[in-house]
Chains A and B, each alone.
Chain A
Amino acid sequence: MEKNDKDPDHDDKSKGDEKGDVVSDAHPSDDAHHQDGISNENVDVVGNAETDHQDPGDNNVDKVSQGEEAPEIRQTLESLSEELDQFLPTLSLHMEEHKDSTEEKGEDGYFQIPQFVGKFLDLFEEKLSKYDSGEPKTVWYQDPEEVSSLLEAVDRVSKLMGLLLNTKSCLDHHESLINHAGSIQQRAMAFLEDEFRIILEESVTKESVVVTDDSNSQRRSTADQQDHQNDVVVSQDHDQMLVPECGDQEIEYPGYPEDVVVVLRKIAEKMKAGGYGWECREVYLVGRRNILMRTLKQDCEFEKVSIDEVQKMSWDTLEREIPIWNKTFKDCSSLFFPGELKLAERIFPGDEGNLFCIVTHGLAIQFLGFAEAVAMTRRSTEKLFKILDIYETLRDSFPAMEELFPEELRSELRNEVTSARSRLGETAIHIFCDLEHSIKSDSSKTPVPGGAVHPLTRYTMNYLKYSCEYKDTLEQVFKSHSKMEREEEEPVESGNSAFASQLMRIMELLDGNLETKSKQYKDIPLSCIFMMNNGRYIVQKIKGSAEIHEVMGDTWCRRRSSELRNYHKNYQRETWGKLLGFLGHEGLMHNGKIVKPNLKERFKSFNATFDEIHKTQTTWVVNDEQLQSELRVSITAVMIPAYRAFMARFGQYLDPGRQTEKYVKYQPEDIEDLIDQLFEGNTSSSSTATARRRT
């Protein structure tokens, strides 16, 4: 080992070549780098171009030094570190003194490098070799003493390299030492790089506990500050500022323990200070992208899907994918992406925007591609609600995500989101157009038995009910994404939103279709029942939903109720008006005397007609209990008083006994009971086998 120490001096003797300008990475700019991969090298040019030739006197100095080392003293990395810390300011001062000089005095320019520098490097190299051989049993980063010791040693080597490379006399006379120091620096940086990757990858999957000795850290920081107080060029160690504040908010993702983040940051700092920051960044970028994808898969069940695959998916499959996408996007916006940005900020302060973008931007683009893909699938009315879910996620979650990105990428992402939302919005609007078309073109020929609620009505109203649960979103969709042509074709009524107008168009189409279908019933009263059933169902659905009620408005509901009353009147007139005709007085009295045959005929006609009505209309369906009750009450209110009055006036003319039994088939109570049997959908006493239906 002693002989090795002498080699640098011997090499120096043989080197007389003149050196040109030197470019050094020792002091990369601390400014944030917003461009990928640009090497922002700090160029320090030593102005003195003259060659410093050695004279015989130098040899004498070396010999004297060698003599001084005759008594061997046991040296450690720690003791040599202290000596080196004292030496570096001297070297720095020397560099400054000769930085701008244009003349080089031979003897003054030469700078003697003490032997302990080489010794320090040898011991450090020895330490690194032990690490490489896996000698320490514990994981390196979990030993705070080892972490601090190594990082400080790396720091000293980097400072030494920086000074040597920027001092012309050292370049001229100490090339061998520079090579040795550079070699050790590289080995140390490679070690740190590997440890950085290991910590980044492993710490996130298993919780590790690092005991932080705050007092020790304080002591070291103080010592460092004192030792470096004379450094003019080399930036001071700010370990003290790295001690986490008690009030620091603990982030949920990515979930590295606080002390692990501190270690990562220190490694990044030392690597950057030594000019090896690019390696550290690249390890970070690869590691974080892999971890982020794995996390999304584990936590959200997220898997990337191609657009082609989305087009081919069955609705069942896509219906399961969309909620996964929604959750993933929301979690990325609220948790994963902010977590990535914060982590980057804490490990690479000042450069976090750049790193964050590389980790997340491609993923964000593909997220939006999925939204576009869904909008491009074959349309069907059942897809509306999932499409609106995606639309809402983009509307509600993207702003928070957007703010994480720098402006140039932000505008690009905003354009992507605008495009995706436009496609989704247009698709939603087209789905309503398709609904209009299917309502208009529903042309089933078979009337619904019993005049019950038509499936078209049931489907449409349920659909609108669910739609109106997205009322605010649909208002926005119709306002923002309607094509100009539509607005021109159908001017929006003043006071109505575009979505409300759409709903009213659908209702009008439904009414029109139902009116057409009602004409399929030959029995006009039945067509009225049909219209009442459907109209009632519609009104009940609207009143039962706050959202849809709000969209349609009270005016529309009142108009609806008015129309229902008209159908009610028509029904009564067409059915019971006729029956009431038999209870009139005309033709029954002549010259104050009863015309018995006519009276008998009246009773017979009434009975037969009532029987027929009862038989028929018990099979008709009115499922709505209130409507059913209203119908019965209104029929009863008209029929019973009239029948009772008729009986009171003319019943007496029939002979008690046989005639009464023959012609007076019903008492008023009987008729009332029978009216209460109407609209049950009861087919037990009917020749038709229609199943009884209830809502």
Chain B
Amino acid sequence: MAPDIPMFSLFFASIFTSNILLANFLGMCSFIAISKDISSSNGLGMAVVVVLTFTASINWLVLNYVLIPLDLVYLRFIIFIIVIASVVQMLEMIIDRVSQTLYLNLGIFLPLITVNCAILGVSLFMEIRQYSFLQTAVFGLGSGLGWWLAIMALAAIRKKTEKSKVPAGLQGAGLTFITIGFMAMAFIGFTGLLQVQ
């Protein structure tokens, strides 16, 4: 049932050619708000990588071992959101116990992640494309890394454009969108390399 895609291609496709942010537009809200600052971008990026990998895998297990056997697939939106919220909460507690420095760097970003569209998006894509468990984990990890890469790149670019003189109306959000457009073109340029949806 699972599509026959080599793991390696899936991994690279989810980082570059079908970047969760630039090709599928997921996780834009926090992307635009946070990318003003490089170190916050880095923290949020790392948190997204961790949460995406975990939630995608757990949601796969829940979907295939609970929802499908019980014929409750129509409830998946609610269940996925609950799983995401509880995983985020648990990660926050674990990180708090294990390392205080990591908590200070990552902890404040975790609550933000529950409402990040990228997290729910990856779980929904995994359901629609019928990935296997391993494929889901790889896809989650790759998408997270892709998101991290994109937000770091944008934060660096915005630092440069901050001081440049642009028309008043274009300042801020307008310019950011156009910058993202150029970034998206660059990422899509990788498409010739891999043909994976």
Q: Do A and B bind each other?
A: no
